[in-house]
Structure 1
Amino acid sequence: MLELSIQVLSKGDVPDVDELVIDAANHVVGRLASTVATLALKGKRVVIVNAEKAVVTGDFNSILEQFKVKLTIVRTHYNPERTGPKTPRRPDRVLRRAIRGMLPYDKQKGKAALGRIKIYLGTPASYYNKPKYVVKGAYFHMIPGSPYTTLEDIWRSIDPKTWAVWRESYDKFKKAIEKKGEQK
């Protein structure tokens, strides 16, 4: 088993590293997005791993219904036959869209900040042994009975075929990484 170092990132902290690797597991999507947007505007490169484990607070059925409404019912005024706007389904793209909404992406500094952010499903091999940060203000403390769901659960309910393909390949990748770690 590989040992991972985890560091806590408080509000207003800007670590003195080239690239921040943030583990999105058990982080509330909106709070994480605002912190990442602030760091990117300050000039830091931010990598978010495990985007599928980010948390959306609220009842699962109401959240799923909101996503389905965005995907199917919303139509444009000038072309009612076409659905739009384009709504992301994958967790990494949902999180990227949330971060983009907190940036002035129509201005040059917002475009540059969005370019400094990378979001991944799972943990790529290149970031597997790097120290990960946990954002203190965005971390979701699980209280028994509080309603929440992960972005992966929403994705599995909306697009099960794509989710199944990804899950199978990611499980194979994790087994290969663990096997390689045991051999060393």
Structure 2
Amino acid sequence: MTTATLHPAAAHATPSPRAHAPFRRGAPEFSVRPARQEDGPALAALSRPFAHAGALRERPLSAYLSQATEFLVAQAPDGTLEGCLGLREHSASGVLYNFCVAAHRQGSGMGARLLHAAFARARTRSLATLFTATTGSGRLFLRSGFLPACPSLAPTGWAQSLDPGRNARVLSRAV
């Protein structure tokens, strides 16, 4: 998973009609909910600019359709998905992946709300530890209690799937 801000050119590649709507502090203009299979195309569309910018791995639509229920989404009042975060379960631990927030929502608290919803989901599923990988700064993760971790402590299949060419840092946090 990567937490990166889109380059301004990439952020404007697929403009949204809400792209310049101001964020009002104290009155969230979005809700967080579990994703449904029918959200697959919207998850793919939301993630596409991040994948094109190199901040996320490219995933086919079929992956979003089959894995949609692993996601939490941030939804605007008009139904548009503006943020997402996947949580894949591995025995007693979990992996957070595909964390993205639409460019016009970055800095609004949406990412923090998604992350805290993932913590709550992990607790209800009795996961002891969460892992993630980031090629970005990881500031939100670090502020939320994640620490650098040895990849050998992470779920084996996931750790082996990390692309060494991306130089991702593995982080973990007790739930």
Please indicate the TM-score interval, normalised by the length of the shorter structure: under 0.3
TM-score by length of 1: 0.26
- TM superposition score normalised by structure 2: 0.27
Structure whose alpha-carbon radius of gyration is higher: 1
**The structure with more strand, counted as a fraction of residues:** 2
More helix by percentage:
1
